[in-house]
Amino acid sequence: MTDRIELVLASASPARLATLEAAGVRPTVRVSLVDEDAVVSRYGVTDPADVALLLARAKAEDVARLLEQDRDAATGDGGAGADSLVVGCDSVLELDGESHGKPGDAAAACERWRRMRGRSGTLHTGHWVVDSREEGTGGTLGAVASTTVHFADLTDEEIDAYVATGEPLRVAGAFTVDGLGGPFVTGIEGDHHNVVGISLPLLRELLAEVGVPWHRLWT
């Protein structure tokens, strides 16, 4: 397809990349230089959904800035990202009105799971799109997808064993639904892909707002 548009994923998440690839999209990965704690502190945002959207925007706009620098430094071939759309994402788990990203260490992950077990939380994923195409709209817009997640009533032994795998330390909310944590999620209400890290239906809607139909991303 000669008129395919390049999507740049402003995230190092292998789960987000795999989700996009399974949907026929092969993005370029460009990780942002954003200091998440500094961004949240600067704007004083506390609402979990707002935190997710703020960080998604910061990451997307940072990568769009890096791509612009690449274009300025290019010698005539346009450089990587010369005609691309940037999407940034960030996920946080809301539990008891508090935001939970990646746990800092194993002790924090165990403590979190002892709070989560047998309960439900809301996984918010902020999505932000920057149309950095040379002849694009120049649009920058975003939205949040929220999915309710029901957790199994794990034993202390199960929590300790799961945390010992290291997986909970690498993901927002200290769990996965598509990995080792799958057996510990008893159900979800909402978009499954959103829990993995990127809502494909929401991303499709955001891209449509800048005039890009989803199929133009297919490889």
Q: Which residues are catalytic?
A: 90
Q: SS3 of 76, please?
A: coil
133: nearest Cα among 11, 4, 2: 4
Between the CA of residue 179 and those of 124, 166, 206, 207, what are the distances in Å?
19, 12, 28, 28
Report the run of H or E that residue 215 belongs to, with start and end. none
State the greatest distance between any 2 C-alpha atoms of the chain, in Å, as a whole number.
Answer: 60
Q: What are phi and psi of 96, to 5 degrees?
A: 55, 35
Give every CB contact of residue 103 below 8 A, 6+ residues apart in sequence.
Answer: 109, 112, 168, 169, 174
